[in-house]
A and B are shown apart, each in its own frame.
Chain A
């Protein structure tokens, strides 16, 4: 098959998967007694009708693309870093800790914020290194290790919110005492999204794109992911590279958590990761593990999330519909990919 024809077939398969996902979700909506067209219209208008709404989308895009950037590294090394969720949480915890420590000190807010974000990245990296050590030295599969560590991370953040860091008076699900406004990252005019956070996110995905494609490190990571045995024989120690993949991923996840604290919630709240870690895994899969494709896909996912917020008000539909649509999309794309491979093999 020629390259052009191949590309055409690939695109057609992807489009087909997209159509199937939409058809599937529409059928669900029909069954629930809602009009699919009206729902999609609401989804779209809820996310891009105004600049403020779009700023909300970008605000969701930042942690999502950072989490995606992280898991792209672990995917490259052949690892299912499902613990990315907990790594985001630990990032948020470390950032909160650093800000609490430094907020009383006589330091410029920019320095405190930078220190907070750095602490968050380190926290995420440490949590990821734990999953990595369990995998490479303890023989615990990263999915189980990550899953366990996610629970522990949730427990840690709850304990902090209701224990040592609780609000004066009584601890509550609304989180810790908010930081003074001097420690809020600056936001764009109409609010909701910080240009600094956006810049960090863009830089993050850019670094990963370069790292995976254009560095020797990235290529060795890829080799380890595809065949640890051959890599070892070629003189590339798989365990060390897997550890590095975890640590780098943790840095990005930690940054996502840090930004949730510094530019979105301005405090630590329970489940501050908001599922962005898991969603990041989906984005990476849907982007076929290509960093640049992840940018629009993450944007699309963030838009669906924001757009679905008004579904309960406008159409009496639950906002979890966004998750249904995202999940269906990933499943149908993966299924189409599987079907395409089978078909290629038999033809």
Chain B
């Protein structure tokens, strides 16, 4: 099926996620969509599959205008999406999951579905046991199950969002083989990725997105340098950086292995000195947050060592990390940092520690007022934190940090903040460095990484590069490494 998107617009508040996107995807091609985090790729495909609705624009399927209001609509039109995190039913058996979502009889024929699942899986050399529970399958197998499920309900456009994240090399080969086979049969395949190698290996054509805009389209053979420039190139002026004097080692990570359901990082090594700022680059979910959380004591490493100021804190409780002077600022400020429904004053009391049996509310309010003026927070002491803007929430979090910190870990310190707030946040962090703290942060903003880090470490699919000296480092180099160049 030929898919044509015309002048698609979508904004989330002040953010233009899709700015006048027009694309034509012919049937029988494997069409790549390339871009960094927040480039607008997922938004566009969610619009195509019915998860989101565009503010304006039109969709044509085989030349006929179509209106897709919901995922069910999308499937009726033959458009199916394989989400990055499989949207399946973990407690079900594979065959039940396979049968979900098809219009059918009141009593579904489980036996036939089993046979059908087996046959479809066999066609693509997939290994899905119909009787196995979905949560016992690997991410790759769940993906395979989802693909045959979509095929069985008659999908003619298959969208895959970052499908090669979290699956093994063998599964990736099988997936690519299946996709080639399908496109040969006339299936339209849209392949969303940030990995240059995947594009080069699989796609016939590729569109590059950046900051909500379609930057360009190219066809095979691809020029890697050109793709990277399209993904990352921008006007960029590097301001003068004043470096703090480096002190003794504050964080030492040795042969660290950490993992979660989707990803594992192994053999990570890193050393951070007092006064130093190290930035972690990479697409979201490449392993940098696993490292950060392990350094904060929020997840337990599988192997290796984490030492803070010479003390081995590996697998010690989170409390001991706090006592050792480690602080962690999450990207999800309202979910994992602040408490919705409590005021700024109440947060000040909470942060003051556990030795206050009865609360001196007047004193606490004075404290809050001081922090509000010290950190230039636009709020009153009695404001509930959820009523503050993102920048002010981040300032509140910063203001709650203890005085004598040794290590500050941050996820996306300025995500969603305006320029003024961003500069302010970094001024504060640099001040902390001058006072002897080390800062380790992850960001998907290359400018931020280059501007503030002393060294940059790039993550790709759970692997980490050697630290790169930020002085003289080019944005393009980071961009290439984020795309996986140099990790083979």
What residues of chain A have their CB less than 8 Å away from a CB belonging to chain B?
214-217, 219-220, 222-223, 226-227, 229-237
- Please tell me if B419 contacts chain A, counting CB pairs below 8 Å: no
Closest Cβ–Cβ distance, residue A4 to chain B (whole Å): 16
Contact B319 A235 (CB under 8 A): yes
Closest Cβ–Cβ distance, residue B296 to chain A (whole Å): 9
Q: Which of A219, A233, A237 contacts B336 (CB 8 A)?
A: A233
Enumerate chain B residues within 8 angstroms of A232, measured Cβ to Cβ: 318
Closest Cβ–Cβ distance, residue B402 to chain A (whole Å): 10
- Contacts A215-B357, A216-B356, A216-B358 given: A227-B339 contact, CB under 8 Å? yes
Report the stretch among B16-24, B31-39, B342-350 that lies at the interface.
B342-350
Chain A residues touching B, majority SS:
helix
Complexed CA–CA distance, A237 and B318 (Å): 10
- Please tell me if B340 contacts chain A, counting CB pairs below 8 Å: yes
Enumerate chain A residues within 8 angstroms of B400, measured Cβ to Cβ: 234
Chain B residue at minimum C-beta to C-beta distance from A229: B336
User: Known contacts A219-B342, A219-B349; can you find 19 more A-B pairs with CB under 8 A?
Assistant: A214-B358, A215-B356, A215-B358, A216-B349, A216-B354, A216-B357, A219-B346, A220-B354, A222-B346, A227-B335, A229-B335, A230-B336, A230-B337, A230-B338, A233-B298, A233-B328, A233-B337, A235-B322, A235-B353
Closest Cβ–Cβ distance, residue B121 to chain A (whole Å): 34
Complexed CA–CA distance, A219 and B322 (Å): 20
Q: Which of B289-303 contact A (CB under 8 A)?
A: 298
Complexed CA–CA distance, A235 and B339 (Å): 13
Complexed CA–CA distance, A47 and B340 (Å): 42
Contact B356 A230 (CB under 8 A): no
Enumerate chain B residues within 8 angstroms of A227, measured Cβ to Cβ: 335, 338-340
Closest Cβ–Cβ distance, residue B410 to chain A (whole Å): 13
- Please tell me if B100 contacts chain A, counting CB pairs below 8 Å: no
- Contacts A219-B346, A227-B339, A229-B336 given: A214-B359 contact, CB under 8 Å? yes
Counting chain A CB atoms within 10 Å of each CB, the highest count among B346, B349, B358 belongs to: B358
- Please tell me if B184 contacts chain A, counting CB pairs below 8 Å: no
- 30 A–B contacts, CB within 8 A, in A order: A215-B357, A215-B359, A216-B357, A216-B359, A219-B346, A219-B350, A222-B342, A223-B346, A226-B339, A226-B340, A227-B335, A227-B339, A229-B336, A230-B335, A230-B336, A230-B337, A230-B338, A231-B339, A231-B350, A233-B298, A233-B328, A233-B330, A233-B337, A234-B339, A234-B350, A234-B351, A234-B400, A235-B353, A236-B354, A237-B319
- Give the 9 A-B CB pairs with smallest separation, nearest first: A216-B356, A227-B339, A226-B341, A223-B339, A229-B336, A226-B339, A230-B339, A235-B322, A215-B358
Enumerate chain B residues within 8 angstroms of A230, measured Cβ to Cβ: 335-339
Chain A residue at minimum C-beta to C-beta distance from B318: A232
Enumerate chain B residues within 8 angstroms of A231, measured Cβ to Cβ: 339, 350
Closest Cβ–Cβ distance, residue A74 to chain B (whole Å): 17
Closest Cβ–Cβ distance, residue B409 to chain A (whole Å): 11
Complexed CA–CA distance, A233 and B409 (Å): 12
Enumerate chain B residues within 8 angstroms of A236, measured Cβ to Cβ: 350, 354
Complexed CA–CA distance, A214 and B346 (Å): 11
> Contact string, B122-151, partner A, CB cutoff 8 A, digits 1/0?
000000000000000000000000000000
